[in-house]
Amino acid sequence: MKLPWFKRYGIIYLPKNFAGWIIFFAALIYAVYLFVDIDRRSHSASDTLINWVFNCFLIVLVYTMTAYFTSRKSD
């Protein structure tokens, strides 16, 4: 598939294609799921946020790498 899935706006990649939207919503849903799961097992609010922010960093990293490799390179 040669269509670009994402378009870059500054440092942000926004979905441009159906596959890009699926990846975007999958990442968003997974982040919410992780928050609920971590919150259920944690003992305090800071414990929840510390663990969730680290996991969100990993999700954003994978999303950005996927978007980088599936976006059209600027000429």
Q: Write down the pTM of the prediction.
A: 0.84
- For the cut 80, the answer to whether the pLDDT of residue 4 exceeds it is yes
pLDDT-derived band at 75 (thresholds 50, 70, 90) equals very low
3-state secondary structure the chain: CCCCCEEEECCEEEECCHHHHHHHHHHHHHHHHHHHHHHHHCCCHHHHHHHHHHHHHHHHHHHHHHHHHCECCCC
The tens digit of pLDDT for each residue in 60-74 reads 999 999 999 988 775
Domain range list for the chain: 27-75
Mean pLDDT of the chain: 90
| Sign of the four-CA dihedral 6, 7, 13, 17 | negative
The tens digit of pLDDT for each residue in 15-51 reads 998 999 999 999 999 999 999 999 999 889 998 999 9
